[in-house]
Amino acid sequence: MSDTHTFDTLRLTAADDLYRFDVPADPQIAPDGRRVVYTVRRVERETEKKYTNLWLVDAGSGRSRRFTHGKWSDSQPRWSPDGQTLAFLSNRSNEEQAQIYLIPVDGGEARPLTDLKGSFAAFEWSPDGTKLAVQFRQKDADALEREKDEGKKKLGISYRRITRADYKFDGVGYQPQERWHIWVIDAESGEAMQLTSGDKDETEPRWSPNGRHILFVSNRSEQPDMNLDATELYLIPAGGGDMRQVETRAGRKFSPVFSPDGAHIAFLGRDKPGRWYQNTRLYVAPTNGGDVSDVSGSLDLHLTPATNGDAFNESAPFLPVWSADGRRVTCLATTRGNESLVSMAVFEPNDEPLWVVAEPGVVGGYTFDRAGRRVAYLWSTLDDPAQLVVRDVDEAGQGGEPHTLTAFNPWLAEIEPGEIEEVWFKAADGFDLHGWILKPPGFVAGQQYPSILEIHGGPQTQYGNMYMHEFHYLAAAGYVVTWSNPRGSQGYGEAVTGAIYGQWGTVDYDDVMAWADYVAKLPYIDPERMGVTGGSYGGYMTTLIIGRTDRFKAAVAQRVVSNFLSFYGSSDLNFGLENLAGTAAPWDDMATNWAQSPISAIGNATTPTLVIHSENDYRCDPEQGEQVFIALRRLGVDTELLLLPGEGHGVSRGGRTDRRIARLEAMLGWFEKYLK
């Protein structure tokens, strides 16, 4: 709370505050470290459209200015090697088709560089600034043919022929037949040359330091959709020619980056196919073959982001970053409710890691200048969605003092927040667990409050020291809001994350109930007015809870996983349930799949339950929530089903704002009905 305000002069968090957030993303520091370009997204309430523009800030003075303007989406800004030009994606000339644009940093208009039909993903400047390597997917030939005829275009497709299991993806829909390939674009003329082709995806292009080759990731197994972790690293001449595989090690590989001299490649990965609970680790391989180093060594750290947030969840790729002398690599590390930056020695495995950023909070994307002496990153804390921060790094790789450059969302100073307490507590078997408690604004000691227990998705994610608008909204209505990280969560070591592999609904359920026990004993909690909610895996656990206990007086089950037997294959994960949950295929072990399915215990449910699902959820098919709703109706339990049209799995974080608000208001209305 601000010292200059009293409770009477401040207002409470509202659902429609979602319209007010400016959401920064993708901080890109200039090669000389003097400026940072980033994106800011805003919502236009009248049309529900979201627009994104580029902003520039001076890293020394903090002076910031909007660099591009207009009602369109400008994204993925990337500095040319000389720092004079920015390449970025924009749909300014066609709302449905983004192209690469170039704009001088010190003045001038943006000019389109490309005019290709399809989708752009990652791209990178060549070391000499004359070309860009691009990950691009062309439109399907039949789609291009339909666009030539207005009648055919209006009618749309007449059928889909599907031959691979990866035919749909949440947030995208049905995938085109064309695959992702590597292209090279001339930075002056826009002339495009396709380097790869065929029925395999090639992604994440990176230039070699001498500009002669392009590194990329590809799964070139005979059936990539059946071997999800069979990605490998490949090199191809920048002017075209035969590709060759880089010798590494078995297991999934991603985010490869050349060392400054080009002699080595750092990459992230896992070494046990099918075990998705594994930590992401850092490896280094010689470019021309040789022994691969596991740089992570004995560090029990997950080196990719995994923290849940709802006001800020977009940013740049989280790539390993080499030091200028090629001796260290810096990565993001998810650990104990935080996301930090850790620097590791590549060739001296006994050296202790150095923490470049280690305060409580979450790093949301980061880039280093060419010298590796300054890092720009977005930073979220429990009371602030995100600010842009820079800090200098010394020769040893140690981070200096942080300097905040921005003041996004100053209107939050008008809001009366509740007090948040971080808690460590004991599970039933004595294991140490981590949680947080948010008291309502205007909390009065000696009074008992209703409470809402939130359960995160994943399960291989974490709650952390990151701002959550939803929690503040519910607390503003007079609830104590609590959340924790049960076993199965990320950030507490690989053994903790893998503790529920093959046995969802066992020790994780016990941990959630241990948290409920801890909360219920607090003097300000009314144990007769406790609610529970969660989405995705949190929806799984909420549904499991109402089938096993009646201690909660109301529940809101969101983006539900209810039935492993039908979830298998209906999700865009398809058979990935085997890798995520550790189950066998249903026809090989129906009993175990059924035992881990919340629907198997739904006949015991008596808790009034609101079910919320998105109609276009390709991760957890709507039928998963519909099964729960129909079962509860048949059982005579108070229930409703709220369906959100046009939305995918990530509705609570990135859905259309009016639908996000409808979801929040429905949740609160349900708890108000049964807890008050």
User: How many residues in total does the chain contain?
Assistant: 676
- pLDDT over threshold 70, residue 411: yes
Section 301-313 average pLDDT: 92
CA–CA distances in Å: residue 56 to residues 38, 39, 228, 504, 633: 7, 9, 39, 46, 55
Q: What is the pLDDT of residues 149-183, one digit of tens each?
A: 888 778 888 889 999 999 999 999 999 999 999 99
As given in the structure block, the two tokens for residue 360 are 């409580």
Per-residue confidence (pLDDT) for residue 7, from 0 to 100: 47
Amino acid present at 519: V
Per cent of the chain over pLDDT 90 is: 90
Cβ-contact 648, 621 below 8 angstroms: no
Per-residue confidence (pLDDT) for residue 371, from 0 to 100: 96
* Radius of gyration of the chain from its Cα atoms, rounded to whole angstroms: 25
As given in the structure block, the two tokens for residue 634 are 């048949």
What residues contact residue 346 under an 8 Å CB cut-off, 6+ apart? 264, 266, 284, 293, 295, 326, 327, 328, 329
Q: What is the pLDDT of residues 457-503, one digit of tens each?
A: 999 999 999 999 999 999 999 999 999 999 999 999 999 999 999 99
How far apart are alpha carbons 168 and 161 in whole angstroms?
A: 12
- pLDDT over threshold 90, residue 543: yes
Per-residue confidence (pLDDT) for residue 449, from 0 to 100: 98
CATH superfamily, domain at 412-675: Alpha/Beta hydrolase fold, catalytic domain (3.40.50.1820)
- pLDDT-based confidence at 617, cuts 50/70/90? very high
Specify the higher pLDDT residue, 11 or 316: 11
- pLDDT over threshold 90, residue 658: yes
Active site amino acids: 536, 649
Q: What is the pLDDT of residues 50-80, one digit of tens each?
A: 999 999 999 999 999 999 999 999 999 999 9
Amino acid present at 355: W
How far apart are alpha carbons 271 and 252 in whole angstroms?
A: 7
Q: For the chain, give the mean pLDDT.
A: 95
Domains in the chain: boundaries: 24-113, 412-675
Amino acid present at 635: L
Residue 610 has a CB neighbour count (10 Å cut-off) of 24
CA-closest candidate to residue 436, choices 423, 427, 447:
423
Cβ-contact 53, 69 below 8 angstroms: yes
- pLDDT-based confidence at 396, cuts 50/70/90? confident
Report how far apart the first and last C-alpha atoms of the chain are (Å, whole number). Answer: 27
- pLDDT over threshold 70, residue 188: yes
Per-residue confidence (pLDDT) for residue 4, from 0 to 100: 37
DSSP letters for 338-388: EEEEEEEESS-TTSPPEEEE-SSSEEEEEEE-TTSSEEEEEEEETTEEEEE
What residues contact residue 41 under an 8 Å CB cut-off, 6+ apart? 22, 23, 24, 25, 50, 51, 52, 314
Section 91-118 average pLDDT: 95
Section 371-398 average pLDDT: 94
What residues contact residue 636 under an 8 Å CB cut-off, 6+ apart? none
CA-closest candidate to residue 52, choices 314, 376, 409, 365:
314
What residues contact residue 356 under an 8 Å CB cut-off, 6+ apart? 330, 340, 341, 342, 343, 375, 391, 393, 397, 398, 399
Section 177-203 average pLDDT: 97
- pLDDT over threshold 80, residue 356: yes
Specify the higher pLDDT residue, 218 or 108: 218
Per-residue confidence (pLDDT) for residue 136, from 0 to 100: 98
